[in-house]
Structure 1
Amino acid sequence: MGNREDLLAGALHCLHEKGYARTTARDIATAAGVSLAAIGYHYGTKDDLLNAALQQAMADWGDDLAAALTSAGPDLTPAERFEQTWNRVISSFTDNHRLWAIQFELLASLDRKPELREVFAEANRRAQAELATLFGVEGDAVGALFQALIGGLAALSLVDRDSPPSGHDLREAIQAVAAAVR
């Protein structure tokens, strides 16, 4: 790997270990085994590097999740596919709890970081479109609903890792809500 890749790997390591706000340029350079000047040369600023690392971490999570979700057997009913899909989403929060903690840390600072707001906004737009497609239901509002559900479930998982709802619980809740609003 070259310095650029080493820096990205070092920034990813630091994000997971220290979070966004507590990571210093020196932390990243040390983790990457490069000079401080390499950050400026390859990424401009520490924040630009951390933003790139966060985007990479989210893309990796999304790719892993998409692969898991698309591996559901074709013989499942839509209800079974829904449950299996949400069970996998929920378990991914446990596997990636530091990534979600970092995101919530950053959400609180978006007013002071407009460049990061745009990164989050673009990631949300892509995720909403992909989520609707993964669940086989089209529409921007459907994708937004699934994105909101993911964000809420991530928050619940951070607060109480031992008792998130299951895919079955979510299916029953959505069916109850759908019946109530008909």
Structure 2
Amino acid sequence: MKLKQTTAKKAETDISLLEAARKMLHDKGYAGLSTRDVAAAAGVPLSQIHYHFGSKQGLVLALFEYLNTQLLDRQNALFGDPSLKLSEQWDRACDYLEDDIASGYVRVLQEMIAASWADPTVAEIVRTGLMGWIELIGNAARRAEVEFGTLGPFSPEEFAALVANAFIGAESLYLLGVEKKGSPARLGLRRVGDLIRILEARTS
């Protein structure tokens, strides 16, 4: 019984620290992230971060895996739902992008990507997480290839790479404020859903 209580308490502390780190990373960026501030925000001693995660890097890597697991579960449910048309899945993916902007996940992901350029350990974790998402897109592209008869000159892998870049690029442009300067990246993504509907109508 005591072991269960200890395990539950550790899990609760882990989540409190990860949520505090998420907020700090969103507000201050990777460079400005302080383990002391995270511990204070979570209401625990600084030693708890070293106990649970070892270091700032360990905390940030755990945060990415924590968030990415939630997102992959969501995407698996989306692309694994046979009741949804491809166009409806695309629309939902665009809705998720809006949710991720509002929740701060987009800022956290982009901070992690930037940090990975100088940190191979962070890069490995981010790369693995993104590839899990890209594989889901590739599976959806294979479904589209069967449904429409072709993806034109693209292989499913090439198509998945382009879609992933489109979404990550849209996130970056949003954070940079480029949309406000006349580059409607998210609206462009929505229009792809309209294109898929045209293709669905032609094959129905």
TM range (shorter): 0.7 to 0.9
Q: State which drifts further: 36-45 or 16-25.
A: 16-25
Q: Distance in 2 between matches of 1:91 and 1:5?
A: 26
2:46 matched to which residue of 1? 36
166-175 or 119-128, which moves further after superposition? 166-175
Q: Which one-letter code corresponds to 1:27 in the other structure?
A: D
Show the counterpart of 1:77: none
Trace 1:105-116 onto structure 2 (pairs within 5 A). Answer: 105-116=111-122
Shift of 1:33: 1.6
Given the two structures, how large is their TM-score scaled by the length of structure 1? 0.74
5+ unaligned residues in a row in structure 1: which ranges?
A: 75-80, 176-182
- Written as runs of structure 1 = structure 2, the 5 A alignment for 1:1-182 is 1-2=9-10, 3-71=13-81, 73=83, 81-97=85-101, 98-135=104-141, 136=143, 139-158=156-175, 159=177, 160=179, 163=184, 164-165=186-187, 169-171=191-193
What is the Cα-based RMSD across aligned positions, in Å?
Answer: 3.1
Contact 2:116–2:122 under 8 Å retained in 1 = yes
SS at match of 1:30: helix
For 1:168 and 1:17, locate their aligned partners in 2 and report how far apart those are by CA, in whole Å: 28
- Partners of 1:19 and 1:58 lie apart in 2 by 18
- Answer 1 or 2: which has greater helix percent: 2
DSSP-derived class of the 1:149 partner:
helix
State, as a whole percentage, how many aligned pairs show the same letter: 24
Aligned counterparts of 1:166 and 1:124: Cα–Cα separation in 2: 22
Tell me which moved more, 48-57 or 99-108. Answer: 99-108
Whole-angstrom CA distance in 1 between matches of 2:28 and 2:75: 24
C-alpha displacement of 1:45 = 0.2
Preserved contact between residue 35 and residue 56 of structure 2 (Cα < 8 Å): yes
Q: CA deviation at 1:25?
A: 0.6
**Which amino acid is the alignment partner of residue 192 of structure 2?**
L
Amino acid at match of 1:100: V
Distance 1:55 1:126 in 2: 12
Q: Are residues 167 and 50 of structure 1, via their aligned partners in 2, closer, same or farther at CA, if it must alter by over 3 Å?
A: closer
| SS in structure 1 of the partner of residue 65 of structure 2 | helix
Moved more, 34-43 or 148-157: 148-157
Question: What residue identity is the alignment partner of 1:53?
Answer: L
Provide TM-score, normalisation by structure 2. Answer: 0.68
Gaps of 5+ in 2: 1-8, 146-155, 198-204
Give secondary structure in 1 for the equivalent of 2:30: coil
Give the length in aligned residue pairs. Answer: 170
Moved more, 127-136 or 35-44: 127-136
